[in-house]
Amino acid sequence: MTMRYCSTRGAVRGRGFEDVLFSGFAEDGGMFMPEELPSVPPATLRLWSALSYPQLVEEVCALFIPPEVIPREELNALLSRALRGFSVPEAVRMVRLQDGLAVLELWHGATLAFKDLAMSCTAQLIGHFLKRQKRHVTILVGTSGDTGSSAIHSVRGLEGIDIVVVFPSGRCTAVQERQMTTVLEDNVHVFAAEGSCDDIDVITRRLFADSRFVKRHSLMSLNSVNWARVLVQTAHFFYAYLQCCPLDATPLPLLEVVVPTGGAGNIAAGCVALRMGLPLRLVAMVNENDIVRRAVQSGDFSQAPSVAHTLAPSIDIQDPYNMERVFWLLSGCDGVLVKGLMEEFYRTGSLALPNTLHRELSAVLRSGSVSDSEIMETMRRCWEESGYLLCPHSAVAVWHHYHCPLVPGQPRCCLATASPAKFREAVLKAGLTPDIPAEVRALETMATRCELLRKGEDWEAALREKMEGVFRARRGGGLGWSPAVRGACPSESHVPRACP
C-alpha cells in the first residue's frame, strides 16, 4: 500500500508525502506521522550492515517515500547530493573511547550541528518539488540556535524559497547567532526576539494555525515539526545499531542510545525506529529544563515557570513539542487522546499523563537531568580520560555514561549533536582549550543583518508585516529587505547569558 500520513490529533488522514513535506502543523494543530510504520526485520538489518551512513539514509527514506512520489533513483541522487558536502567521508563518524564509551558524531556539516544532516536532505526534497512545479514557498523557523542556522544554510540563495528565522535574543551562543545573521542573501530574513524559544513557539503556532495566511504564503516549517526532519534522523539510530551491535546473535542485542534532548525530535525518531523493530533502549538526557525527565519519571508533563539559561542553550526548552509524536506512538496512535492531552497542556502549561501512557513512556524511555556544574565535570573528565573534547550538549548525554554503569553485555552509544567549536565559552569555563576552525573565526569579522522584535511589541503582527512585504517585493521583482535594516544585528552589542 502507498504510504499515507495522518495528524497526531486524529482529524487529518490520508495525506501524501509531498503534502506533509510542505506543511507545518496539521490543520487540527497536530503533527504529521505515518499512518502505519514499516517493519525492519533482523534479515533486513543484516542486509544493511555494510552500508555507509548516506546509503542507510537512502534505504530508510525509501520506506516512507513511495517510488511513485519520487522514483528511487532520483531519491538516491537527491539524498546523496545532500550529504556530499560534509567534512568526513560518511557525513557522520563513530568514535570509540575508554570504558566502552561510543560517541556518534553527527555534527560534521556546514553549521557544525546534527541538524545539518536532516536539514540538507529536507532542503533537497523541497527543491525537487519546487523545481518541478515552478512554485514558491516561505519557510518559518523558530529556533533556540542550531535549527535556524542549519535551515538558513540549507536554503540560502535558492530560487523559490524565502526563509524567516526567529531566535531568542541573547540566548544563543555568539557562533550560533553569527551563523544566522552573517547570511546576507535576499531570501534570508532573520529576527532576534526579546524572549525565550518557547515564547517564539507560541507565535509560530498561531501563524501556522491561520489557514488563509498559510495558503497565501505557502508557509511551511523546517523545524522538526516537519516530518522529513524526523524521518532522516531515524537513520541515526539504525546506523548506531549497525556500528555497535553484532548481528549474529538470536535474539539481536539491545542497544542503549543516549540522546541530549530539547525539542525531542531525535527522541521521536528513536521511538519510530523502535516501533519499526530496531532493538533499542532510549535515554533522553536533559539539562535543568527537565520537563521530559519529570514526564518519564513521574508522569508530570508540566512547564516550569520560566526557561532556565544553561551551558547547553540549544536544549533550553520547556515545550518539547515532539513529545506529542511520542505520546501518539505510545498510546496506540490514539488521536482523540492526544488531542485532549495536548490541548490541555497548551491551555494550562500543565499535564498529568494518564497512568497507562506513563507506564508505556517509562518502559520505552529513561531520563535524567544534568546541571551546569555536571556538564563541566563531564567535559573535563572526557578530556582527561580520553583526550576528547565534548560540546556541552553532548556532555549532557555522556554524563549518563559516567554515572549509570553499563548492563553487562549491552552496548551503548551517546549522540554528539554539536561541535565544541560552537560553544567555546563553555569549553573555557570548564577549564579546557577550544580548537576553533578557521570558518568559525571568520564569523567574527563578517557583516551581520537582522531585525529586533522588542519585548511588549506584537511579534505576530511584525512577522505578518514582514512576510507581506516579502510577498509584495517578490511579485514586484524587488527585495524583501529595506536598506534601513542592513547592518549590525541588534543583539550583537551584548554577551549572551546562556553560553555566549
Cell numbers standing for residue 283: 535515554
pLDDT value, residue 196 = 85
Q: Each residue of 421-477: pLDDT tens digit?
A: 989 899 999 999 988 888 888 998 999 999 999 998 899 998 998 888 887 877 665
Q: How far is residue 406 CA from its own chain's centroid? A: 27
Calpha distance 149→112 (Å, rounded): 10
Contact 319, 14 (CB under 8 A): no
User: What number is the average pLDDT over the span 39-49?
Assistant: 96
Calpha distance 287→311 (Å, rounded): 9
Q: Each residue of 288-304: pLDDT tens digit?
A: 999 999 999 999 999 99
pLDDT value, residue 88 = 96
DSSP string, 423-487: GHHHHHHTT------HHHHGGGGS----EEE-TTS-HHHHHHHHHHHHHHHHHHT--SS-GGG-S
pLDDT value, residue 407 = 81
Q: Each residue of 147-159: pLDDT tens digit?
A: 889 999 999 988 8
Over 80: is that where the pLDDT of 95 sits?
yes
Calpha distance 172→393 (Å, rounded): 13
pLDDT value, residue 470 = 80
Map grid coordinates 551503548 to a residue. Answer: 412
Q: Each residue of 459-474: pLDDT tens digit?
A: 999 899 888 888 787 7
Q: Tell me, what amino acid is at 290?
A: D
Over 80: is that where the pLDDT of 13 sits?
yes
Over 60: is that where the pLDDT of 493 sits?
no
pTM of the model: 0.88
Could you say which DSSP state residue 13 is in? Answer: -
Query: Is the preceding peptide bond at 313 cis, omega within 30 degrees of 0?
Result: no
Residue 488 binned pLDDT confidence (cut-offs 50, 70, 90): very low
The answer to which of 126-140, 226-240, 361-375, 389-403 has the lowest mean pLDDT is 126-140
Q: Tell me, what amino acid is at 289?
A: N
Can you tell me whether residue 81 is helix, strand or coil?
helix
State the virtual CA torsion across 118, 288, 196, 28 in degrees, nearest 10.
60
pLDDT value, residue 476 = 65
pLDDT value, residue 221 = 82
Mean pLDDT of the chain: 91
Residue 492 binned pLDDT confidence (cut-offs 50, 70, 90): very low
Calpha distance 268→473 (Å, rounded): 38
Residue 480 binned pLDDT confidence (cut-offs 50, 70, 90): very low
Over 70: is that where the pLDDT of 500 sits?
no
Over 90: is that where the pLDDT of 370 sits?
yes
> 174-181 and 146-155 are packed helices; what angle lies between their axes, rounded to 10 degrees?
30
Over 80: is that where the pLDDT of 188 sits?
yes
Task: Label the pairing between strands 137-142 and 451-453.
Answer: unpaired
Can you tell me whether residue 399 is helix, strand or coil?
helix
Q: Is 88 left (phi over 0), alpha (psi -120 to 50) or beta?
A: beta
Largest Cα separation within the chain, whole Å, is 66
pLDDT value, residue 128 = 93
Residue 171 binned pLDDT confidence (cut-offs 50, 70, 90): confident
Between the alpha carbon of residue 30 and those of residues 7, 198, 213, 343, 357, the distances in Å are: 5, 17, 18, 10, 18
Contact 398, 378 (CB under 8 A): yes
Name which of 424, 380, 374 is nearest 397 in CA terms.
Answer: 374
Residue 54 binned pLDDT confidence (cut-offs 50, 70, 90): very high
User: What number is the average pLDDT over the span 407-412?
Assistant: 87
Cell numbers standing for residue 385: 580520560
Bridge partners (DSSP) listed for residue 413: 257
Calpha distance 415→390 (Å, rounded): 11
Cell numbers standing for residue 176: 550560533
User: What number is the average pLDDT over the span 123-136?
Assistant: 89
Between the alpha carbon of residue 325 and those of residues 80, 263, 366, 396, the distances in Å are: 28, 11, 17, 23
Over 90: is that where the pLDDT of 142 sits?
no
pLDDT value, residue 208 = 84
Q: Each residue of 345-361: pLDDT tens digit?
A: 999 999 999 999 999 99
Per cent of the chain over pLDDT 70 is: 95
> Which residue blocks in 69-114 are alpha helix, DSSP H?
72-82
